[in-house]
Amino acid sequence: MFRSLNLVHNVTRRVALRAPLQARWLTDSAKNTIESSINNSDVCLFMKGTPDEPMCGFSRAAATILRVHGVNFRGVNVLEDQDLRTGIKEYSNWPTIPQVYIKGEFVGGCDILLKMHRDGDLEQLLVEKGVIEPLAEEGTESSNPAPSKE
């Protein structure tokens, strides 16, 4: 009995000590912002800075990859709102920024986006989710017919 009480006390204390460095909770207003952002746009990028002026190399890389695929995404600048900056980490249970949501579903951070892009998985996912059109296949819809293989 005493032992378990002590345990609870310790945990509370640890959280309290860390609180000034990084808030461990998600405010209602941050949650509302997050949910309306991810539900009202096909692709949502929580980032440091804006798509036109990223404030961090990782956020810049994520935005660039989405642009390469012609995705018209919503960029949410977490630097403008401290509650959002800590809240998105709690909400996604993901410790870093940027974070990408596609059709309301968490996809990952910069490392994952980059690897998916390299492996062709990102394009496939975007097409599957109806975010972008598949590239026209050779010889069918292309206006510049590919050289014949025969």
Indicate which single residue of 9, 13, 67, 115 sits in contact with other proteins (rule: CB under 8 A).
115
DSSP for 25-93 reads S--HHHHHHHHHHHHSSSEEEEESB-SSSBSSHHHHHHHHHHHHTT--PEEEEGGG-HHHHHHHHHHHT
Per-position x/- string for 59-98, each x denoting binding to other proteins as judged by CB under 8 A, each - no binding: ----------------------------------xxxx--
Q: Does 107 bind other proteins (CB under 8 A)?
A: yes
**Residues within window 21-60 making contact with other proteins, judged by CB under 8 A:** 21-22, 56-58
> For residues 77 and 82, what is the distance between their CA atoms, to the nearest angstrom?
10
State in angstroms the smallest separation of the CB of 98 from other proteins: 11
- SS percent in the chain: helix, strand, coil, step 5: 50, 15, 40
* Cβ closest to other proteins, residue 22 vs residue 40: 22
Q: Does 116 bind other proteins (CB under 8 A)?
A: yes
Binding site for other proteins (CB under 8 A): 21-22, 56-58, 93-96, 107-112, 115-116
